[in-house]
Structures are given as C-alpha cells and as structure tokens.
Chains A and B, each alone.
Chain A
C-alpha cells in the first residue's frame, strides 16, 4: 500500500516521539530505586508484595479487557505500574491476599471502570490503597523494623513509622531521630515511602526525562514545608521541625509519584501550582487534625477530585471569535 505524499489531518502535527510505552517505561525505571530501597531495608518481603501486586494488576487488566472484548493494553506497562506503586505503599508484612485485592480494586474500579489509562479521575493505586486501608486498617498498620542488607546499622531508633510515633507519643519522641535515618529510610515504614533518597533519585529522573512536570512535586513539598513552618512558628512546643514533616512518611513519595499520575493532575501552570500547594497543605491538615496517621493518600485523592476545576483556570484564547455570523 502506498502512502499519499501529503496527509491531511488535524493538529498536532509535530510529535515528540514519546509514546505511552516509553512513558510507562520511564515510570518503572524511576521506581527501581524505591524497590531496591525496599529490598535493602526490609529484605525479600518487600519485593514479594510488589511482585504479587504487579502481577495481579496485569492479570486483572487483561481479564477485564478480554471480558469486554477490548484491545489488550497490558503491554504498555500502565497496569504493572499501578501494581508496583500499590505494592510500594503497602507494608511488607501484609498477608498475600491484601495486594491481590488492592490491585484488583485499583485496576477495575480505579482505572478500567472509567475507560482505562488517562481517563480515570482518581489515582488508581491510591483508590486500591484507600479501599484496603478503610477495610483492613489493622493489617496495614504493622510495620517491620528496618534490617539493612549491608553497610548501615539497623536504625532501631523508633518502633513505628515516624508519623505514627509523632501522633501517639508526641513531639519529644521524634526530636532525636537522626535526619540521616529519615533521609536514607532507616526507619520502619513501607518499601516505597521510607527512603527519601530513593524517591529523589527516581523522581528527579522522571523530571529530567520530562515525564512529570517539576511544578507539582516542588509545590507539594513547598506546601508541606511552609504549612509545617507556620504551625511551628505559631506553637513551637506542639509541632516537630518543619523538615521532619517533609522527610518522614509519605510526603516525598506522594509529591513525585502519586500526585503526578497521568490524567489525574492539572496541566496548566496556575493549576499545577495550586494543585501542588493544595496537596501539601491537605497532607499536613489531615496529619495534624485528622484521625489517620498519614494523610497523604486522602489528600491526593481530594486534590484529584479538584483537578477538573483547577483545569478550568486557563489562559484566555488569543483572537477568539466574538460571534459566529
């Protein structure tokens, strides 16, 4: 079949050459440091959760698309990505059926129900996670102590994740946690979120590749930090140092990997800035005044629901037609 010399089509005409496959590959590469950090601190248990979750996610997507007679898209890696992110959010100690259930909910309700990749309004991995969290909170909240594979001494400074310690035992209990332990991830927690270093490696790779926009993570971290700083200034004895809120818990992982999922975050500049700041402030709001230890999952879901409204803030179109004759 010969192609015509001139092809008539609608814009855009210039393609960067990036495909969904390449984008998802970038994401998966960016998550490798987090997966390795999980293995480094928690051993094979962390890998087990990630692998089960990823495999189930792919199987669920394949089954759904087969059942509906839609083209199979599991080879683009988006289902695997959702599974990996969900696996990284779960404690390495959960029973095997937790990641299975979570991945099925994430893929079917969080993603495919709305028409698949790019159409779902809420972060699919977080839909699965919050579903599990609400239903099986007691199973999700037991965390193993970090056992670094080599080089580092086991952290052992606290027995629960730092945010839990802060909530239950107060500011005094977290004052002496070495910043280095928090930064490297030498504290109890989940495989993905525990190590700020790993998250930064992967996140900056994504930013450098242009897969995510830098505004959202930056303003999310900034929002968290400024909110915490204001709290600290207002009543110093009730709050930990602002940097603690950024390093501990889910903050960094949320900023780089959860808030930025394709299709669930705004695309205009003011939208992205407001979205990032909103994520940061809501994370802190739920942490400080809410019941739950870690507010990031709910904060991101809430901001996801605001995304269509934030996308309405757009520049005026130049030279628009006043009235069609």
Chain B
C-alpha cells in the first residue's frame, strides 16, 4: 500500500507532469483563464490519462513487444489515444450525457495533449511498474495536472483585474506565473526517492 502512496505523492507533487516535467503546457496556459473551464479540463485529463494508459499498456505489452515493433510506439500510441477518445466521447454522449456535458469540449481537445501521451509513455516504459502501478501513476499524473491548472487559474483570474503593463497582459504574465509556480513546487524535491 505504501508504494502506492509514494507513487501518488511523487506524481502529484514531486514530479508534477506540468511543473516538473513541463508536459502539457499548451492546455495549461490555454484554459487557465476561467475556473469552470479549468476544472472541466482537469477532470477530462484525469479521465483520459487513466484510460489511455490502461489501453496503451496492452498495446505495448501484447502487441508491440512480442512483434519487436517498439519503435512504432509513438505513432501507435497517438493513433490509439485519438481513436479511443473519439470512441469514448460517442459512448458518453449516448449513455452518460451528464459526464459528457461536464467534460464538454475538452474531451476531444486533449486527444493531442502531450501530457496524456507523455503519461502513457512514462507509465508503460517504466520497467518497475506493473499494470496497477501504471494506472495509479496515470491517475495521479492527471490529478497533478489538474492541481497545477487550478492553482494557476486562481492566480490568473486575479491578474485579470490587476494593472499589468499592457504589453505583458495575458500570456506573458501567465508564463511568468507558471514559472513561479514551478519554482514553488521545487520545495517538494527529494521527498520521494
């Protein structure tokens, strides 16, 4: 049990997917201007990373590795993730409309999110992970992404009303804030070896 806790702390705080690994910066900066879109995006990322890791795990272990096709991993994963998300979207729209509406536009948007692909690759390529650990890692990475996104959104919502110099408004201050957030997250270094 304790290794799962370490895994979660590691993926959420210490090796945060955005603030320590710098993956998924595009949605991180793109949708962090309003809180309701940020939470929607966060939920969608958690959902898709977990699902995508589960599927890509089998793609790698039972398809690519036996055939010696590991070099096709990137293309295969992108293809699988994109198709999977489209399928899931159709499924949700018909069967769980409430969740579909909550995730909204973000579900199709994150098919090409490098945080999702990155998490899947990190989880699948790590020799120490079994299937369950890979899933927990993916879920925790999604949570870490959502946490960073919500923190940044809170700050940027405040910046929206601040007298920021005109040429620095929007993205420049967003990037600076993200950098300072990453600086603060450095405090967690060394907590998990």
Contact = CB atoms under 8 A, between A and B. Distances in A.
Contacts of A299: 187
A121 B155 contact: yes
B141 to A, nearest CB: 19
Contacts of B157: 308
B180 A290 contact: no
Given A115-B163, A121-B159, A302 B185 contact: yes
A127 interface: yes
Nearest to A305: B151
A113 B177 CA distance: 10
A14 interface: no
A292 B173 CA distance: 28
Contacts, number: 88
A110 B183 CA distance: 12
A214 interface: no
16 contacts: A68-B165, A109-B176, A113-B165, A114-B173, A114-B176, A114-B177, A115-B162, A115-B163, A130-B183, A130-B186, A289-B191, A290-B188, A302-B185, A305-B181, A305-B184, A312-B154
Contact of B189 (A114, A116, A130, A290): A290
Contact of A291 (B155, B163, B185, B189): B189
Nearest to B188: A290
Contacts of A304: 184
Contacts of B188: 286, 290, 298
Chain B contact surface mostly: helix
Interface of B: 150-151, 154-155, 157-159, 162-165, 168, 173, 176-177, 180-181, 183-191
A32 interface: no
Contacts of B187: 282, 286, 290, 292, 295, 297-299, 301-302
A309 B154 CA distance: 6
Contact of A290 (B150, B163, B181, B190): B190
A237 interface: no
B184 A116 contact: no
Contacts of A308: 154-155, 157-158
Top 9 nearest A-B pairs (CB, nearest first) are A298-B187, A291-B190, A308-B154, A301-B184, A119-B162, A115-B162, A115-B163, A121-B155, A289-B191
Contact of A121 (B163, B177, B191): B177
A34 to B, nearest CB: 23
Interface string A290-325: 111001011101101111110010000000000000
B191 A301 contact: no
Question: In this complex, which of B176, B188, B189, B191 has the most chain A Cβ atoms within 10 angstroms of its Cβ?
Answer: B188
Contacts of B155: 121, 305, 308
Given A113-B164, A114-B176, A134-B186, 17 more contacts: A68-B165, A113-B165, A114-B177, A115-B162, A119-B164, A121-B158, A121-B159, A121-B180, A122-B180, A286-B187, A290-B190, A292-B190, A297-B187, A298-B186, A301-B180, A309-B151, A312-B154
